[in-house]
Structure 1
Amino acid sequence: MNCEQKPREASFYYWRSSLELDQTEKEFLDESNGTYLFVRFFDVDKINGRFEPQGIITKKESFSTDKEIVPVIFITNRTWFDITSKDLDFLVEKIAESIYSRADELDLSLANEIQIDSDWTPSTKQDYFEFLRRLKTQTQKEITSTLRLHQLRDLENNGVPPINKAYLMCYATSSPLEDTEVNSILNYELLQSYLSSVEDYPLELDYVLPIYSWGIVTNQLGKKRLINGLSTQVLDTTAGIAKIAENQYEIEKDGFYFNQFLNTGFKIKIEEIPNELIEKSINLIDQKTQSKAHILWYHLDSRFLKNRKILQL
């Protein structure tokens, strides 16, 4: 007897500072079968001893979606340095207050979940974990956390956050500023190594895969910097830039490119995620989980959605 397989659940992150969708983004979001849209509401940093919100989300009047909104708050690791119990209470109260007030102002329908994104370390884990406990008590919502690959691999030192579910960020497998031939956004062999014992992790996991791209610019002294959103398609059609090898380009004329001044001779390496690598990574995750894992795409942006029918799982 043939039983129809349950379709894979797939959702998107939204990681821009203003909520607005062009036609391509709206179509992909509407066709995704996930219940939620994970929206970066704001960041929190500690500057000169003060907690500072940054990049608070805004919304265009034209924005609309039937998805429930999961607020995602990015908190820098240095926020946890030398933090007191009183500071934790203050931070919990202000973050909860800001989430609810912003959702009301923008008329957003919130899910019963708040996600915290923080690259905690062994020295800050206790304060971060205590923050998660207090935020749950304050909001009475399900609190979830992102989980980076290095936090997964070094479980003994990094600990396990006191939550029920984490979102494993299956990207940033290496540093883009190192001299290496591998794709620093996602390298299959490195991902395979990181996931070698993922089935032993004691929390429920959803999996975040990248669809973004960027350019790594190298000057004549070997210093590197990133330009987000660049692709081979963009560089192939930009005057003053020559292709010199696969995914490799060179500036032929001094000038402003992509809102930055680049000199003649600067090199640009494009890192993109081909559909074949996405499919291979999903198959690896499914093998590890022995199921159709819940996939989240990072992130919803029409620049990264061209020829991406594979995302409509």
Structure 2
Amino acid sequence: MNRLATIICIALAVLSAACTRQSAGEPVRAVYYWSTVFDMDSVKTRFMTEHGVRKMYIRYFDVVQDDGGQPVPNATLRFRTAVPRGVEAVPTVYIVNECMAADTAGLADRLLRRILQMNATNDVDGVKEIQIDCDWTRRTEGRYFGFLRTLASKAKAEGLEVSATIRLHQLSMAPPPVSRGVLMMYNTGDFTDLRQEKPILDMRDAAPYLRHIGSYGLPLASAYPIYSWRILFRGGRYVGIMHRDDDLPVLPGDSIVTRVPDINDILDAARAINRRRSDANSEVILFDLSIQNITRYKPDDYEKIFDSHTAGRQSVH
């Protein structure tokens, strides 16, 4: 059997596996796909099947500022393979916060048209939701929320809902005007500080923000990290993140450190959410789907994360 036929056979099994593994009332199992090429090889497809993953948040493109300060698309996703059958795709767009300090007139319409065009061109069917990822601040909140209201209105006319990512520090701010949010339980520390050993997820840093989750005014899902960083330091000072060995010049005396979340830290984060707002684990999302990330832990560890709605659940008054 050739590679394409193998992938197709595995993909066809995803829906039946998801139905078998997930009964009514159990949380939705989902992943982010954060790359510039969509390629569901046999390793990724097998992971989806074995763990009953039935939803994918797929990064379609970024929105950045051009030389004139206007928001423009960047790093558009190229589809090499199709989205697996039976898996719901959620087109996701990352917007650089500074774009919200510029003129956003017409941005919602252009962004939605681009998503719809990519769906049609790449046969991405059954889309019910689009998601916006932006690390907005109090300075950009007004313009960002205005953009979201316009986008939500235009998306509704197309039968689509709009969701947004929620960073931990944003839990203390007004919720964005969208249908629901995804809480990002990662990037809790300063990865540019060599002394920070757990910049991806450290509950000592995350815990103070979670006191706001119980009263947060949006339905929430939770996303947990399974990625790692290789960070180059020179003389103890941050140089950059190395995605490949040749990304940055490495000089004698430089240090390359690897930061990776411990499985126990991830489960501690899930327990902390359950104690405060268990419905936020009604959908569990892994960030993100790549061969390196989905082979880092044992299969049972991924199961524990996906089943995190059962971890340490209790009410807090």
TM-score by length of 2: 0.80
Aligned to 1:311: 302
Kept in 1, the 8 Å contact 2:187–2:199? The answer is yes
- Per-residue deviation, residues 131-176 of structure 1 (Å, max 9, x unmatched): 11111111212111111111113x2xxx221123111111110110
Matches within 5 A, 1:28-177: 28-47=47-66, 48-61=68-81, 64-83=84-103, 87-88=104-105, 90-140=106-156, 141-153=160-172, 155=173, 159-177=174-192
Alignment partners' CA distance in 2, 1:72 and 1:32: 22
Aligned to 1:209: 224
Kept in 2, the 8 Å contact 1:58–1:106? The answer is no
Q: Is the alpha carbon distance of 1:61 and 1:151 closer, same or farther for their aligned partners in structure 2, counting shifts above 3 Å?
A: closer
Query: How far did 1:69 drift?
Result: 0.9
Q: Does 1:298 align with 2:287?
A: yes
Kept in 1, the 8 Å contact 2:240–2:248? The answer is no
Q: Which amino acid in 1 is paired with 2:175?
A: V
Query: How far did 1:62 drift?
Result: 6.3
Aligned to 1:232: none
Q: Which amino acid in 2 is paired with 1:213?
A: S
Alignment partners' CA distance in 1, 2:199 and 2:58: 24
Q: Is the alpha carbon distance of 1:107 and 1:152 closer, same or farther for their aligned partners in structure 2, counting shifts above 3 Å?
A: same
TM-score by length of 1: 0.81
Where structure 1 has 5 or more consecutive residues not aligned to the other structure, the ranges are 230-256
| Greater Cα offset, 205-214 or 60-69 | 60-69
Coordinate RMSD, CA, aligned: 2.1
Q: Does 1:196 align with 2:215?
A: no
Identity of aligned residues (%): 24
**Which structure shows the bigger proportion of residues in helix conformation?**
2
Q: Is the alpha carbon distance of 1:79 and 1:263 closer, same or farther for their aligned partners in structure 2, counting shifts above 3 Å?
A: same
Query: How far did 1:265 drift?
Result: 1.6
Query: How far did 1:261 drift?
Result: 2.5
- Per-residue deviation, residues 89-143 of structure 1 (Å, max 9, x unmatched): x111111110011111111124211100111111111111111111111121211
Determine which structure has greater relative contact order: mean sequence separation of CA pairs < 8 Å that are 6+ residues apart, divided by chain length: 1
Where structure 2 has 5 or more consecutive residues not aligned to the other structure, the ranges are 1-22, 307-317
Alignment partners' CA distance in 2, 1:221 and 1:184: 16
Query: How far did 1:55 drift?
Result: 0.9
- Aligned residue pairs total 275
* DSSP-derived class of the 1:209 partner: strand
* DSSP-derived class of the 2:242 partner: strand
Find the partner of 1:7 among 23, 26, 33. 26
Kept in 1, the 8 Å contact 2:168–2:209? The answer is yes
Kept in 2, the 8 Å contact 1:36–1:111? The answer is no
Alignment partners' CA distance in 2, 1:275 and 1:303: 15
Q: Which amino acid in 1 is paired with 2:133?
A: D
Aligned to 1:260: 248
Q: Which amino acid in 1 is paired with 2:125?
A: S
Structure whose CA Rg is larger: 1
Kept in 2, the 8 Å contact 1:117–1:146? The answer is yes
Q: Does 1:287 align with 2:275?
A: yes
Q: Which amino acid in 2 is paired with 1:163?
A: V
